[in-house]
Structure 1
Amino acid sequence: MICGTSFARQNPSNQDSPNFLFIAVDDLRPELGAYGLDYVHSPHLDRLAAESSLFKNHFATVPTCGASRYNLLVGKLPKTTAEVGNLAAVQMISKKEERERAMTFLEKLRGNGYYTVGIGKISHHPDGYVYDYLEPKSDQIELPGSWDEMLFDSGKWGTAHNAFFGYADGSNRNTLKGQVKPYESADVADEDYPDALTANLAIEKLKELKGKGQPFFLGVGFFKPHLPFTAPKKYWDLYDEAEIPLAPFAAIPENSSKASLIQSGEFNQYILGEEKASLDVAMSDGYSRKVRHGYLAAISYVDAQIGKVLDELQRQGLAENTIVIVWGDHGWHLGDQLVWGKHTLFDRALQSVLMIRRPGKSGNQIEQVVSSTDIFPTILELADLTPVEGLDGASIVTLMDFPDLPTWRNYAYSYYNRGISVRNSRYRLTEYFRKEGRELELYDFETDPFQTKNIAGDKLDQVGELVNLLEKGNTGLYQQEPRDQ
């Protein structure tokens, strides 16, 4: 079932502007060959990464889908609790009058002659419309004013929510009330899972956009590797499960607590899973490898779908004037710190994929720290549009040209779980505002790359600049507790 809507517009076109193909991938931590992980089969994304500026230290601002995507779209740090929740775009955009709602970079592009098309999950709802899991599709657009067209093919699942949690036989987690496994390997074609339908829709749309005579922004949102970890069997067969590495650190960090982590509730909603995740004991090695196998198979599946879209971009002669951006909305713990999921202020939940290919530019790798908040101003500069005042991020275009740029900010803020966190090239410092009082955690990635020990008690006086940055990053989202004198 293909659902689509076109919206009226009156804007001039500028045929000399670059096009954008923006690909959002749900829950994709930097688990790709391009990031040095040779056990991952991701040939299409690896090829794109070799032609792109690949950001090795990109961090999401909020480790949950809806809030991370809202942050990407509006380019501002969260200042209210609504902005760290999955319904951020609904509350701050969809339900607001035009004069009151936050502006997205899509609106800016659209107002300057771009034809904007969204396919799949770009904001929080998987087809861009606001409705609950078990409801029929509504006509309430999640991002009014942003799209000329919003499209999705829900196939045999009927609605986008069902497709998002769908299995190869057309069933889904929602209507089965969680009586499903968190993974599936079915011997079926790519189109028996939703992301192939999204790729096919994007391919057809590229053919149409070629003839429109105006620059376009095509946003394509893929579901995998979000739970459930489902993919055709041929992608599972790319891996020897016995060879899949386990989490390098599966324990609560020393001097930390359960309160800094989560109980993996999203993962445990899949009731037929063989084991439950817990902060009390790690899952067995065998089952951990099974689940990690599913995550990797889902990555390989979505990699193949992205490859089809990139091939069509080339086939249509559009690649030479199209900027390609691939972005993961946040990371995911795969047993790291005993967590199976996102929703923490640890690197595993915050670090995600970002690559940007610019026509005529060579690929490179960038080690400096960047934030999802930086993507809004970057897109505007790439489109040669006037900057928007009041954004919290900064364009990374110059950084792409000069990866060692000494004037770059080189830190990123993140917010969640009543915590504020700042990450620079060496440390992550997090402050939690709990009922029991203020808690600080500091991790040194030079000596402790997997965040095994909180050293705030020993080293805090050595990172005064980072403490100042943390205070600067307090946007008022959480109540500031008095500091000890």
Structure 2
Amino acid sequence: MCKSLITIFIALVCGGNLSFAQKKNVLIIFVDDLRPELNSFGANYIHSPNIDSLNARGRGFNRHYVNAPSCGPSRYAFLTGQYGLEYRGESNQSLFKRAEGVNDENVSIAPSMPEWFRNNGYTTVSVGKVSHHPGGKGGDNWNDSNILEMPNAWDKHIMPVAEWESPKGAMHGLAYGKVRTPDNRNIIEVVDGNDNSYPDGHIAEEGLRQLGELAKGDKPFFLAIGLIKPHLPFGVPKKYLDRYENIQIPPALHSEKPKGKTTWHGSGEFMNYNRWDKDPREDKKFELELKKYYAACVSYADKHVGDIIQKLKKTGADKNTIIVLWGDHGWHLGEHAIWGKHSLFEESLRSPLIIYDPSMDNKGQMSNAIVESVDVFPTLCDMTTLPIPNFTEGISLKPLLDNADTQGHEAVAFISDATTIRTDQYRFTQHKNGAVELYDHQTPLAEQLNIAERNPKIIQQLRTLLLSKTADKAFIFSKK
């Protein structure tokens, strides 16, 4: 009887804390420019044991598609649960443009995902590159506290700049504090240093500190840690590159420039680096070297993922924490004669997504359902029993977490002058000038052969589907 009264008394006095204790924590790990170049996603030449282990315990989504092939708009969609087509001309400034509305008392802007969790009792912390600017601030060096990328979202928004001195310097940082400049921009670099040779080492260390503090708190936490690698430049400690010394990496499939009107581009971001007059589209030896450096950067990021998950386990919070690993978009390694992202081809839009819940069943089964980044917001609400806001444009993936064989849904993505939709069989792309692309993924040529001219009925069906997914008002292109 006494024990019962004591329990009731504690519940009355500390009811909020008991309620919080029952809420699951959320840990999201962002990885920049990560295509599905992971052992557990089929790239068996990649050394990625920590991400693979997470995949083996959670649910990997083999056909996850981002909603834009650039960092800013892709992270906008992930962090808001909305496509963001109204900002399609803003590119990497999408979240800053949204922030202008948040700061305008006459404009109504829906809460972002971290803000939604914060409003529902969570402590929200961001470390590293989570929104487009590491640390989430604007200004010339991305460190102006008066210009926030995501107002009201974070209790703490941290970017350890170390010897790079500013978030902007760290974003494209070379080793030991070297900052990319017009005269100092080698596309690859290797050093004999430790993991703190590059900014990600410092980001991971700060993430571990924040994780330790949050695990001691009396509120559930929403922690986002954003790693920069394998983003350009491909700089990495030597021990990671050494793993690929004798590895043969297969050449790119469909490496030819596609014909006709497409979203192909000349790899401007990539070509603007110092390449010593080498072009991987013509120089196969250089192509292989670049792929090894990319793979080494993936392994470097994987090491930090392992450290973060191990720290979570040491705190004991792993038993009540949902983990999400997300690549912000794909990256061409020569497919379609592109090096980089920014296209609406499969390689730019497909990225890894892994969701782990310690209470889930059927762990380790890969889902082949089509899903998209805007789905993560409602999914996390569903998993943590928070209300799912009606303004999100995604669909909860909880049924897929319960059963990997559950059917998915179409995925939308866009750039400034074209929009695409991916179905189980087709990719349809509509250009602003009226041109269309249609590819059949059930044929070997897939996105190398545009079959639009001979399939007008399929195009009309997919255009109608695309209009329904994007609420029509955002789809402003010609319907030729």
TM-score, reference length from structure 1? 0.90
Structure 1: stretches of 5+ with no match in the other structure: 1-11
Residues 419 and 431 of structure 1 are in contact (CA less than 8 Å); yes or no, is this contact kept in structure 2? Answer: yes
Q: Which residue of 1 aligns with 2:393?
A: 392
Cα deviation for residue 467 of structure 1 reads: 3.5
- 2:141 corresponds to 1:142: no
1:26 aligned residue: 32
Q: How much does 1:218 deviate? A: 0.7
Report if aligned partners of 2:124, 2:222 keep a CA contact under 8 Å in 1. Answer: yes
- Could you tell me which amino acid in structure 1 is paired with residue 452 of structure 2? A
Q: Deviations over 1:23-62 (max 9, x none)?
A: 0111111110010110111010000000111001000101
Aligned to 1:448: 444
Partners of 1:136 and 1:210 in 2: CA distance: 28
* CA contact 1:327–1:352 (8 Å) conserved in 2: yes
Shift of 1:478: 5.2
Residues 52-451 of structure 1 mapped to structure 2, 5 A cutoff: 52-82=58-88, 85-94=91-100, 96-97=102-103, 99=105, 100=107, 101-133=109-141, 137-173=144-180, 176-177=181-182, 179-240=184-245, 243-254=248-259, 256-257=260-261, 259-276=262-279, 282-361=281-360, 362-406=363-407, 408=408, 410-434=409-433, 438-448=434-444, 451=447
Matched residue of 2:175: which SS? coil
- Residue 13 of structure 2: aligned partner: none
RMSD across aligned positions (CA): 2.0
User: CA–CA distance in 1 between the matches of 2:56 and 2:374?
Assistant: 24
Q: Deviation of residue 401 (structure 1)?
A: 0.9
Residues 90, 97 of structure 2: 8 Å contact kept: no
Residues 462 and 91 of structure 1: is their aligned pair in 2 closer, same or farther, counting only changes over 3 Å? closer
Q: Are residues 1:457 and 2:453 paired?
A: yes
Shift of 1:449: 6.1
- Tell me, yes or no, if the aligned pair for 1:58 and 1:370 is still in contact at 8 Å: yes
Paired with 1:177 and 1:127, the residues of 2 have a C-alpha distance of 24
- Give yes or no for contact 1:94–1:142 (8 Å, CA) kept in 2: no
CA distance in 2 between counterparts of 1:55 and 1:182 reads 31
The change in CA–CA distance for 1:118 and 1:304 in structure 2 (over 3 A counts) is same
Distance 2:328 2:116 in 1: 21
Corresponding residue of 1:8 = none
CA-CA distance at 1:318 after TM superposition: 1.1
Unaligned runs of 5+ in 2: 1-15
Q: In structure 1, the residue corresponding to 2:291 is in which secondary structure? A: helix
Query: Which residue type is aligned with residue 130 of structure 2?
Result: I
Distance 1:190 1:58, change over 3 A: same
Report deviation, 1:465. Answer: 3.6
Report the CA distance shift for 1:389/1:315 in structure 2 as closer, same or farther (over 3 A): same
- Find the residue that maps to 1:369 and give its secondary structure: strand
What do the CA deviations read for 1:290-331 (whole angstroms, capped 9, x no partner)?
211111111000000110011111111111100000001110
Gap change, CA 1:185 and 1:460, over 3 Å in 2? farther
Q: How far is the alpha carbon of 1:472 from its aligned partner?
A: 2.6
CA contact (8 A) 2:230 2:294 kept: yes
Letter in 2 for 1:129: K
TM-score (norm 2): 0.91
Q: What amino acid is the match of 2:271?
A: N
Closer/same/farther in 2, CA of residues 273 and 369 from structure 1, 3 Å limit: farther
Counterpart of 2:295 in 1: which secondary structure? helix
Call closer, same or farther: CA 1:460–1:187 in 2, change over 3 Å.
farther
Q: Any idea what SS the aligned residue of 2:420 has?
A: strand
State the alpha-carbon separation in 1 of the partners of residues 197 and 446 from structure 2: 37
1:453–1:270: structure 2 CA closer, same or farther, 3 Å change rule? same
Could you tell me whether the CA contact under 8 Å between 2:99 and 2:148 is conserved in 1? no
* Structure with higher helix content: 2
Cα distance in 2 for residues equivalent to 1:242 and 1:24: 27
Partner Cα separation in structure 1 for residue 189 and residue 154 of structure 2: 34
Q: CA deviation at 1:276?
A: 4.5
Aligned partners of 1:354 and 1:267: how far apart in 2?
25
Structure 2 CA distance for partners of 1:94 and 1:312, relative to 1, 3 Å = farther
**CA positional deviation for 1:139:** 4.1
CA separation in 2, counterparts of 1:95 and 1:271?
39
| Distance (whole Å) between structure 2 residues aligned to residue 341 and residue 205 of structure 1 | 32
Separation (CA, whole Å) in 1 of partners of 2:245 and 2:426 = 35
Alpha-carbon displacement from aligned partner over 1:355-374 (angstroms, at most 9, x marks no partner): 00001222221111001011
Helix, strand or coil: the match of 1:415?
strand
| SS at structure 2 position matched to 1:221 | strand
Asked if 2 retains the 8 angstrom alpha-carbon contact of 1:25 and 1:221, the reply is yes
Question: Does the CA contact (< 8 Å) of 2:467 and 2:475 recur in 1?
Answer: no
> What is the alpha-carbon distance in structure 1 between the residues aligned to residue 143 and residue 83 of structure 2?
33
Aligned length in residues: 458
2:132 counterpart letter in structure 1: H
1:428 aligns to what SS in structure 2?
strand
SS at match of 2:85: coil
Q: Percent identity?
A: 33
